[in-house]
Amino acid sequence: MQTQKVIDHIVSWLKDYAVKAKVNGYVIGVSGGVDSGVVSTLCAMTGLEVLLLEMPIRQKEDQVNRAQDHMEDLKKKFPNVQAKTINLTPVFESFEAVVHDHVEGRWSNNLALANTRSRFRMLNLYYFGQLHGLLVCGTGNKVEDFGIGFYTKYGDGGVDVSPIADLYKTEVYELARALNLIESIQNAIPTDGLWDAERTDEDQIGATYPELEKIQKEYGVKAAGDYEGRDKEVFEIFDRMHKAAKHKMVPIPICDIPEEWRED
């Protein structure tokens, strides 16, 4: 990949979009992962106002440390960058305490609570975005957004712009190296950070991003019968998750009313 051309293109795209939208810049949620690290850096490079928000909810110490280190690094490099830490743990725990349907250990309820963390962060991003005249900048990559739908609807999927959604995860890591992000971000193991127990993306998905990328590039051209061994296993994972998450990737369905029914 021609990383510098890609970097310049995204920075220009972000700047042009914000100028045309007549906003001051962007607000980005910083998690300590490579996606938010790359996106926040690209936003900073526009020269527009950038607000970084770290929003821990019972977060692991290593995730918090990476996020804090990255924010400090960007603030030193870019005078247009500001950063805040908003501890959402009390908000989440207050909600958790009044949700009586929650059953500890039941998968569906635990997943609902995990997604609630992401939705609280989305509310926070839009709150500060509106306060400061900023657009919410998404951090999803191509595999997450258009492959397996590995994001929360109206959570981290609730954004105004999505600058790296046409980049595979391995390409995002290439940009991280080219942008000289701090080492801990470049080497961060992908995780959504939505669980009390440590769960990497690979733990949850059952496949690595390079494995998923291989299938996504061939999806719709090759079928399960064209694969064998591990590739077939990953195809089945991708196919199942893609179909289950299709509702996230298409416009909200509208029930059309026939025009003749509008007449008396």
Residue by residue, pLDDT tens for the chain (264 residues) are: 999 999 999 999 999 999 999 999 999 999 999 999 999 999 999 999 999 999 999 988 888 999 999 999 999 999 999 999 999 999 999 998 888 665 555 555 588 889 999 999 999 999 999 999 999 999 999 999 999 999 999 999 999 999 999 999 999 999 999 999 999 999 988 888 788 777 889 989 999 999 999 999 999 999 999 999 999 999 999 999 999 999 999 999 999 999 999 886
| CB contact set of 20 (below 8 Å; sequence gap of 6+) | none
Which three-class secondary structure state does DSSP give residue 28?
strand
Burial of 172 (0-12, 13-18, 19+ CB in 10 A): buried
Q: Are 83 and 74 in contact (CB under 8 A)?
A: yes
Residue 230 backbone dihedrals phi, psi, to 5 degrees: -60, -40
223: amino acid identity, one letter: A
Paired strand residues for 54: 85
Which three-class secondary structure state does DSSP give residue 203?
helix
Q: Which two tokens stand for residue 42?
A: 């690209």
Look at residues 34, 16, 35 and name the one whose alpha carbon lies nearest to residue 26. 16
* Integer CA distances (angstroms), 246 to 153, 173, 208, in order: 11, 26, 21
* Integer CA distances (angstroms), 21 to 14, 18, 52, 195, 231, in order: 11, 5, 20, 36, 44
153 Cα distance to chain centroid: 11
Distance CA 95, CA 116 (A): 9
**pLDDT given for residue 228 in this prediction:** 95
**pLDDT given for residue 147 in this prediction:** 96
Q: Looking at the chain, which runs of residues are DSSP E strands?
A: 25-29, 49-54, 81-85, 134-136
Distance CA 34, CA 32 (A): 7
The domain locations on the chain are 3-201
Paired strand residues for 85: 54
CATH superfamily of the 3-201 domain? HUPs (3.40.50.620)
**pLDDT given for residue 62 in this prediction:** 87
Q: Which two tokens stand for residue 50?
A: 């950038």
**In the 8-state DSSP scheme, what is residue 144?**
I
pTM of full prediction above 0.85: yes
58: amino acid identity, one letter: R
